[in-house]
Amino acid sequence: MGALARGMPVSRPAVSQHLKVLKDAGLVADRPQGRNRVYYLDPHGLGALRRWLDQFWDEALENFRAEVERKPRQQKEPR
Amino acid sequence: MTAITLAPVRKSVRVKAAPAHAFEVFTARMGTWWPREMKIVTAPLKTVVVEPRAGGRWYERGEDGAEANLGKVLAWEPPHRVVMSWEINQHWRPDATVRAEVEVNFIADGPDLTIVEVEHRKLEVLGAEAGASVRERVDSGWPRVLEHFKAAVDA
């Protein structure tokens, strides 16, 4: 990221903010490399898909936990 | 072109039940907890079926009786482990060329406590066109879905 910021007429925090927007949009992804973060293009937007599935499983497992811990007589039979 | 790999989605939840019960609810009762909005069938979702054997089907059934494949059971090891292929593409349609995987492990964590670990992996096989349509869904669709979930769960 430092290398990107050096080439820009804006502050390093501003570059960081812009990268975050690009990352949230699934256009770039990043990985740590030593003390730095290396950003790379994610042309297929797969990062966004991954985040979507990440949230999907959060919701699914919370529903699952509630169902497992339901008292047996309250358990819903599949209709 | 550089191959892109994606880190697997890893989730775990600790439930107050023995592994056998957790396994039973996860598989035989998937239709009771699967998020209603995440469906492929056109009609309202009736249930989600995991056939209890390696090679079994994993599919949704709508209220109208129509079925849609989610994947196949790759490993069936009750009450410890189940692995399923995830054959859903980035447009949320059945696609047998997609072979992502969902592995679920049920780990006893004391009497009547189980840690359920889910790993959704090989996500990069979901395809090279995942861009615009998925981003659109993530940006606009998912928050609305979450609100529906919350309303249903809190009710």
Q: How far apart are the first and last CA of chain B?
A: 49
Chain B positions in Cβ-Cβ contact with residue A21 (cut-off 8 Å)? none
The ipTM estimated for the assembled molecules is 0.74
What are B98-114's pLDDT values in tens digits? 888 999 999 999 989 99
Per-residue confidence (pLDDT) for residue B144, from 0 to 100: 47
Which residues are CB-contacts of A14 (< 8 A; sequence separation ≥ 6)?
A: A8
Per-residue confidence (pLDDT) for residue B81, from 0 to 100: 98
Chain A residue closest in CA terms to B8:
A50
What are A7-46's pLDDT values in tens digits? 767 787 887 887 787 776 556 778 888 888 887 766 566 7
Per-residue confidence (pLDDT) for residue B72, from 0 to 100: 97
Per-residue confidence (pLDDT) for residue A78, from 0 to 100: 54
**Of B93, B129, B141, B131, which is closest to residue A48 (Cα–Cα)?**
B131
Per-residue confidence (pLDDT) for residue B135, from 0 to 100: 43
Chain A residue closest in CA terms to B30:
A64
Chain A positions in Cβ-Cβ contact with residue B127 (cut-off 8 Å)? 44
Give the nearest partner residue to A44 out of B22, B26, B131, using CB atoms.
Answer: B131
Specify the amino acid at residue A2.
G
User: Rounded distance, CA B84 to CA B56, Å?
Assistant: 9
**Of A70, A71, A59, A72, which is closest to residue B34 (Cα–Cα)?**
A59
Chain B positions in Cβ-Cβ contact with residue A49 (cut-off 8 Å)? 90, 123, 126, 130, 134, 138
Phi, psi of B54 (to 5 degrees): -60, 135
Per-residue confidence (pLDDT) for residue B141, from 0 to 100: 44
Per-residue confidence (pLDDT) for residue B59, from 0 to 100: 97
Question: Beta B45-50 vs B57-62: how paired, if at all?
Answer: antiparallel
Listed as ranges, residues in chain B with pLDDT below 50 are 1-2, 131-146, 148-155
Give the nearest partner residue to A69 out of B7, B15, B120, using CB atoms.
Answer: B15
Per-residue confidence (pLDDT) for residue A40, from 0 to 100: 73
Per-residue confidence (pLDDT) for residue B131, from 0 to 100: 40
Q: Is the dihedral of CA A34, A36, A37, A41 positive or negative?
A: negative
pLDDT interval class at A73 (50, 70, 90): low
Do A49 and B126 make contact, defined as CB atoms within 8 angstroms?
yes
Per-residue confidence (pLDDT) for residue B48, from 0 to 100: 94
Per-residue confidence (pLDDT) for residue B121, from 0 to 100: 87
Q: What is the mean pLDDT of residues A74-78?
A: 54
